[in-house]
Amino acid sequence: MDLRRFSLYGASALVVLTAAVACGGSGSSGSWERVKCTNSNCTVTLKGTGSQGDLADIDNVEYDYRIVLNKDKKNKSADIRVGRERYGREDAEDEATVKLGKSVTLQGYRVKYVSNSKKVAKFEFKGPK
């Protein structure tokens, strides 16, 4: 195999690899999330096994969340974390397991596991004042 033919194969492989990476989309599990926030209150609706993202920036404090649905009977509980950063540095975080229909307070956020159908799970985050 001469150098020109090898270069052609290498370039073709690179094009195929780039095309495969660019078509990532939502992944094989078909998961997605929708986050709707008003001030520091947010509703997170998700399909899949979990979600993470930002909740609010209040003065110099940023809040973020992570939700992982547990694989218990019909996803009746979820592990939820709320983290707080001050001036861009991790300050504190709280984590708890929340059952469907129940709520807990994490880093000043009142977090409720609202519903879970076969298709989507819904969570409400009521922010600190």
Query: Is 8 within the bounds of a domain?
Result: no
Secondary structure (3-state) at 127: coil
User: In this prediction, what percent of the chain has a pLDDT beyond 70?
Assistant: 76
How confident is the model over 23-48, as pLDDT tens digits?
Answer: 222 322 557 889 999 988 999 999 99
Domain span at residue 53 reads: 32-126
How confident is the model over 92-125, as pLDDT tens digits?
Answer: 999 999 999 999 999 999 999 999 987 899 999 9
CB 116 within 8 A of CB 75: yes
pTM of the model: 0.73
Query: Is 67 within the bounds of a domain?
Result: yes
Q: Is the pLDDT assigned to residue 16 strictly greater than 50?
A: no
Query: Is 7 within the bounds of a domain?
Result: no
Q: How confident is the model at residue 2 (pLDDT cuts 50, 70, 90)?
A: low
Query: Is 66 within the bounds of a domain?
Result: yes
Query: Is 1 within the bounds of a domain?
Result: no
Give me the number of domains the chain comprises.
1
Torsion angles phi and psi, residue 75, rounded to 5 = 50, 55
Q: Could you give the CA distance from residue 125 to residue 78 in angstroms, rounded to a whole number?
A: 14
pLDDT of residue 90: 82
Q: Could you give the CA distance from residue 92 to residue 85 in angstroms, rounded to a whole number?
A: 7
Query: Is 14 within the bounds of a domain?
Result: no
Query: Is 64 within the bounds of a domain?
Result: yes
Query: Is 23 within the bounds of a domain?
Result: no
Q: Could you give the CA distance from residue 66 to residue 93 in angstroms, rounded to a whole number?
A: 11
